[in-house]
Homo-oligomer: A and B are copies of this chain.
Amino acid sequence: MARHLLFDAETFRWAGVEQRDYKQSEGTQRGMGWRGLTRHTLVPGGSVAAGFEQRYFEIEPGGYSSLEKHEHIHVVITLRGRGRVLVGDRVVELGPMEVLEIPPWAAHRWVNAGDEPWGFLCTVEAERDRPQPVDDAEWEALQADPATAPFIF
Interface residues of A (CB under 8 A from B): 1-7, 9, 12, 14, 42-43, 47-52, 54, 71, 73, 75, 77, 79, 87-88, 90, 92, 94-104, 106, 121, 123, 125
Per assembly, the copies of the chain total 2
Q: Are B98 and A7 in contact (CB under 8 A)?
A: yes
Chain B residues with CB under 8 Å of A71's CB are 49
Is the Cβ of A125 less than 8 Å from the Cβ of B52?
yes
Chain B positions within 8 Å of A98 at CB level: 4-7, 14
Take A102-B2, A123-B123 as given contacts and tell me if A7 and B97 are in contact as well, using a CB distance cutoff of 8 Å.
Answer: yes
A52 surroundings in chain B (CB, below 8 A) = 51-52, 75, 123, 125
Q: How far is the CB of A145 from chain B (nearest CB, A)?
A: 16
